[in-house]
Structure 1
Amino acid sequence: MCGRYAQTTDVKALEALLGAVAVADIAPRFNIAPTQPAAVVLTEDGERRIALHRWGLVPGYASDERSTPLLFNARAETLAQKPAFRSALQRRRCLAPADGWYEWRAVGRFKQPYLVRRRDRAPFMFAGLWESWTSSEGAQLRSMTIVTVTANQDLAAIHERMPAVLPPEAWDAWLDTRVDGRSLALRGLHPAPVGDFEMVAIGARVNQTSNDDPQVQEPVQEPAEPLELAQPRLI
């Protein structure tokens, strides 16, 4: 699963890394939440672009933007079967740049947040899908979802799912809609290799979506047991 993430790489660095042109004001973000605008990379009119789309896909067939659940994640195994994702898998694939995401692990009654990032701190790309939805008044909304796969051995302790992180050699095929999306979903989406990512315990500032600054990623000592649940010692 991916319910919160960060994208702090400078837009000029993203343009150089991706061979893309930014068509929106892409600011560093430390705490991106569903329904908020997020950077996506897509190919339109023969040009690779970095744009902003709402995180939480609204299918083109929706009667209104609230008529479907908040589709901020999409399971790779069922992309080709789900009506909400089937068309986008073939025609509207994108990358979502990131340099970390957040997960929570229950420790008693306390939920310890973690930052998951590459060990080398490099940015990476989630596999994503995007849609364009038009309201009855003619307003257009562009939205996206992040594809997930089974978590690898490193991350399974905090969640059974993880975002599908595409290696650089897979970016071109994922963005090229001439390549069959069904085959990409079935054979091209895998958990990240063991050892590539690390989990860092961080403070509770990340819990508030209004906190969107470097301090949300400050490491803390991982609790072995929440203090309020500590058992009294018998003397």
Structure 2
Amino acid sequence: MCGRYAATKDPAALAAEFDALDATEDHAPATDYNVAPTKDVVAVVQRHPRDDEGEPDPSTTVRSLRVMRWGLIPSWAKNMSIGARMINARAETAATTSAFRTSVAKRRCLVPADGWYEWKRDGKVKQPFFMTRPDGHSIAMAGLWTVWRDPAHEDAPRVVSAAVLTTDAVGQLSEIHDRMPKLLTPDLWEAWLDPDIEDVTELLATPPSPELVSSLELRPVSTKVNNVRNNGPELLEREEDKADLTLFDE
């Protein structure tokens, strides 16, 4: 699963990394070492640009950074509180689940992150780990997004929200938790984001890249991350004395 992650890069850096336009304007969230559900996050989308009358141009697409609320609020929801329970969508069932199936076909995104946190249980103790790329590149979590308006108010503003897709953990990650975010390598970004592709069954079924997973650093970190009020670079610092050094021994 994915319930917390870190996002510390500014929009300009993300725009360059994901070959996208920065459309966050002045709404981009601040550097966040402890991103939690219902917070605003940056996502990458690819859409047909619209003219002054709102008509899309089918001949081209534009990839851009957008700000979304983490926790997908289905268009049919009576209120936005349901979003707090929909931060993740299972890749195996999202295409047939009422809350996510339209987004699977028409509104897919990437959620950039420095890495994500997961907790390994050892008896009554839960040790947090931070999964990240040692080379400093962002990881791209496959996501879904949608637009919701409060049905009780005709002039209610749009709320754009997103969920992170998860899949079975593989390789060394399965030693910590049985689920992981669905990570997409750059060669898959175009197909995943293409708004004209509705059938992504093959992409949903594609397992995480073994090379990417094996390259990840699984870093034991402080339990300070357990409290969402804690937010600073110290959350990412390695705490070697907390690690089970035999965790991945054959």
Normalising by structure 2, we get a TM-score of 0.84
C-alpha displacement at 1:131, in angstroms? 0.7
Which one-letter code corresponds to 1:40 in the other structure?
A
Q: Percent identity?
A: 38
Residue deviations 1:115-171 (CA, integer Å, cap 9, x gap): 111232321210000010011222211100000111012111111010011000111
Question: Conserved in 2, the CA contact under 8 Å of 1:132 and 1:142?
Answer: yes
Query: Which residue matches 1:92?
Result: 107
The reply to whether residue 176 of structure 1 matches residue 194 of structure 2 is yes
C-alpha displacement at 1:205, in angstroms? 1.4
Write out the 4+ residue segments of structure 1 that deviate beyond 4 Å after TM superposition: none
C-alpha displacement at 1:219, in angstroms? 1.2
Structure 1, unaligned runs of 5 or more? 225-235
C-alpha displacement at 1:89, in angstroms? 0.5
The equivalences for 1:11-160 within 5 A come to 11-24=11-24, 25-44=28-47, 45=49, 46-67=61-82, 70-135=85-150, 136-137=152-153, 138-160=156-178
The reply to whether residue 215 of structure 1 matches residue 230 of structure 2 is no
Question: Conserved in 2, the CA contact under 8 Å of 1:77 and 1:185?
Answer: no
Q: Distance in 1 between matches of 2:218 and 2:186?
A: 22
Which one-letter code corresponds to 2:230 in the other structure?
N
Q: Distance in 2 between matches of 1:212 and 1:22?
A: 25
Question: Conserved in 2, the CA contact under 8 Å of 1:95 and 1:127?
Answer: yes
Structure 2, unaligned runs of 5 or more? 50-60, 245-250
> CA separation of 1:18/1:80 partners in 2, compared to 1, >3 Å: closer, same or farther?
same
The worse-fitting range, judged by mean Cα deviation, of 105-114 and 63-72 is 63-72
Query: Which residue matches 1:229?
Result: none
Q: Distance in 2 between matches of 1:202 and 1:144?
A: 27
Q: Aligned pairs, how many?
A: 223
Query: Which residue matches 2:5?
Result: 5
Q: Distance in 2 between matches of 1:19 and 1:209?
A: 31
> CA separation of 1:204/1:69 partners in 2, compared to 1, >3 Å: closer, same or farther?
closer
Q: Distance in 2 between matches of 1:223 and 1:156?
A: 16
Richer in strand (by share): 1
The worse-fitting range, judged by mean Cα deviation, of 170-179 and 63-72 is 63-72
C-alpha displacement at 1:18, in angstroms? 1.5
Normalising by structure 1, we get a TM-score of 0.89
C-alpha displacement at 1:180, in angstroms? 2.8
Q: Distance in 2 between matches of 1:62 and 1:98?
A: 28
Residue deviations 1:59-91 (CA, integer Å, cap 9, x gap): 011121125661001111111110111000011
> CA separation of 1:223/1:172 partners in 2, compared to 1, >3 Å: closer, same or farther?
closer
Q: Distance in 2 between matches of 1:35 and 1:119?
A: 28
Q: Distance in 2 between matches of 1:117 and 1:223?
A: 16
Query: Which residue matches 2:215?
Result: 196
C-alpha displacement at 1:35, in angstroms? 0.7
Residue deviations 1:181-220 (CA, integer Å, cap 9, x gap): 3424444x42241412121111111111121210111111
SS in 2 for 1:154: helix
Which one-letter code corresponds to 1:197 in the other structure?
L
